[in-house]
Amino acid sequence: MPPASPNRLTDFKLPTAVLAAAWLGEGELLAGCMDGVYRVDLAAASHRKIGSHASYVSSVAAVPRHGQYLSAGYDGRLQWYDLASDQPTRSLDLHRFWSWDMAVSPDQSLVASVTGQYLAGGYKYEPAPEREPSVRVVAADTGEILLSLPHVPSVQAVAFSHDSQFVAAGNLMGEVRIWNARTGEQVAGWTTPDFTSWGIIKSHCYLGGIFALRFTPDDSGLLMCGMGPMHDPMAGNGRQLWQRWDWRADAAAKIDETHEGESGEGLMEALAVEPQAGFFAMGGRLRGGNLNVGLYGLADGGKLGSVKSGYRVTEILFSTDGSRMILVGGQGQPDQDAEGRIADFGRVEVYDIA
């Protein structure tokens, strides 16, 4: 089990906020930042920029089986790079709107990306129908679009099962859909209202939603995170919330959620599972309380440990042996100095959780 207060080993900065990260190899990360794609050497606390999008980079992933890595951005584009040379090899304009999230299947054969803009569809502000497929699955090696799947925009989170047979996506309204990743057949679907808020103060609109999804190690459950309901969309003071659902039941059933008194306030947008030690981590922003990363037992959902990082955490990774936890994110955006320079505000931290 992880310690109640993990010990920080490394802390350094990147030029802009880190919105996504993935392992390239033990000790090396791929980082998706506001200004582009970076390779990060954890031991040397160094980085080098190797690519960019026309907007923020929202997701990154490694595909060593094909000698490549990928990035997705708010320009709606997927980009492939050669793992050895860092040279771009392919790009695909996959969405007309943002790619909110992108994932590669564990067998490295498929890539899924989700999109969609929340627009009011009626006087009750219900979401308008999608203007393009909200979920797309492409071949990791060729970039061929294999599946275009319907959902209700905006769709903000996507994940593959560990056996690479299923793909799940969650949206602003707390609706989850799961498909067979090979055939496109929808095999499960449900809605949980706990992640969505209707703003009755300042802004009359829906906000929130499911920001991250992960299958449990045996693929029988689905973890999701976001933020509990609130009335003021400017406050960001909803409950830091995760839920676990049994999606294989005839009717999907909620098994567990953040226990009372074991979280604070703020939007949670990162999930990671450490299967060897049997726990998972949830992280994001802190509005009130004493943590913005929590570690929870897979068996009983109880809080095991926490970190108060002092910045927005956008991705959590565990080392292969489970002894280290890596947090990335961004700490505000500082003002320019007298010469027009902006101080680095991307964050990378390594914690000992052995």
Query: What pLDDT sits at residue 7?
Result: 95
Sign of the CA dihedral with 98 first, then 242, 353, and 349 last: positive
The stretch 153-172 carries a mean pLDDT of 98
Question: Where are the chain's structural domains?
Answer: 7-334+343-352
CA distance 349 to 11: 4
pLDDT digits (tens, 9 = 90+) for 203-251: 788 999 999 999 999 999 999 999 999 988 778 899 999 999 999 989 9
Query: What pLDDT sits at residue 25?
Result: 83
CA distance 145 to 159: 17
Choices 1.10.357.10, 2.60.120.10, 2.160.10.10, 2.130.10.10: CATH for 7-334+343-352: 2.130.10.10
Task: Report CA 252 to chain centroid distance, whole Å.
Answer: 22
Two tokens, residue 302 = 């109880």
Q: Residues 206, 233: contact at Cβ < 8 Å?
A: no
In the sheet that holds 303-307, the strands lie side by side as 268-274, 279-284, 293-297, 303-307
Residue 283 confidence class, pLDDT cut points 50, 70, 90: very high
CA geometry: angle at 286 spanning 231 and 279, to 5°?
Answer: 110
Q: Residues 115, 131: contact at Cβ < 8 Å?
A: no
* Closest C-alpha to 31, from 41, 18, 43, 44: 18
Residue 200 confidence class, pLDDT cut points 50, 70, 90: confident
Two tokens, residue 334 = 């500082």
pLDDT digits (tens, 9 = 90+) for 55-78: 999 999 999 999 999 999 999 999
